[in-house]
């Protein structure tokens, strides 16, 4: 099953388009985000591979910020040990999800893995790739399903809260103040 999506950025100029491909072995989420970062042109291509349980197996981010090339490879083994460009990344050991700070695409991963019923809540610890620093750190998050298509998302111990709207595949269609599904 393939699900494409196109978002428009709301807080600054930019777009992101992604394609979710699913089969019995897992899922691949790949896309391209094009936006302005501190008045500098930026393009980031991403490819995330998940196992059948929606846990991140690998993530690759390439592109550029202004004239600087970017290339990040993240891999996760079965024991949930993470590597960042080939080196161990102790701070995020045990995490199930990658969270790319520059796209709404990765909210899909804990949403699909948790399969919450309306009224249920789950706490997750994600490996958060901060942009433009390109550093990987843990980010505690909470997802609460408040309706069939809405999730209350919280991170940073409650310092950030948003009501996310999703489509049938679990992709975010509205991320208040940051991203909105681009209408055709």
For 145-171, how does the pLDDT look when each residue is reduced to its tens digit (9 = 90+)? 999 999 999 998 999 999 999 999 999
Residue 7 contacts residue 182 (beta carbons within 8 Å): yes
Q: What pLDDT score does 183 carry? A: 77
Distance in angstroms (rounded) separating the CA atoms of residues 173 and 179: 8
| Sites in the chain below the pLDDT cut of 70 | 184
Going by the DSSP 8-state scheme, the letter that residue 183 receives in this structure is P
- Residue 155 to residues 6, 150, 160, 183, Cα–Cα distance (Å): 24, 16, 5, 28
**How far apart, in Å, are the Cα atoms of 83 and each of 16, 70, 131?**
26, 17, 18
Q: pTM here?
A: 0.95
- In this predicted structure, what is the pLDDT of residue 63? 98
| Burial classification of residue 107, based on how many CB atoms lie within 10 Å of its CB (0-12 exposed, 13-18 middle, 19 or more buried) | buried
The whole-number pLDDT of residue 18 equals 98
pLDDT recorded at residue 129: 98
pLDDT score recorded for residue 3: 96
pLDDT at 106: 98
3-state secondary structure of 17: strand
- Is residue 72 within 8 A of residue 87, CB to CB? The reply is no
Separation between Cα atoms, residue 82 and residue 76, nearest integer Å: 4
């Amino acid at each position: 099953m393939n699900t494409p999506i196109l978002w428009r950025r709301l807080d600054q100029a930019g777009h992101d388009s992604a394609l979710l491909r699913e089969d019995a072995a897992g899922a691949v989420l790949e896309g391209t985000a094009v936006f302005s970062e501190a008045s500098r042109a930026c393009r980031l291509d991403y490819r995330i591979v998940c196992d059948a349980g929606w846990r991140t197996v690998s993530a690759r981010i390439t592109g550029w910020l202004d004239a600087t090339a970017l290339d990040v490879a993240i891999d996760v083994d079965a024991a949930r040990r993470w590597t960042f460009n080939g080196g161990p990344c102790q701070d995020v050991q045990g995490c199930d999800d990658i969270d790319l700070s520059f796209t709404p695409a990765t909210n899909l991963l804990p949403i699909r893995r948790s399969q919450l019923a309306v009224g249920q809540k789950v706490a997750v610890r994600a490996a958060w790739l901060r942009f433009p620093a390109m550093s990987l750190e843990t980010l505690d998050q909470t997802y609460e399903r408040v309706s069939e298509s809405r999730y209350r998302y919280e991170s940073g111990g409650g310092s950030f809260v948003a009501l996310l709207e999703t489509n049938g595949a679990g992709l975010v269609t509205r991320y208040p103040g940051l991203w909105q599904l681009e209408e055709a």
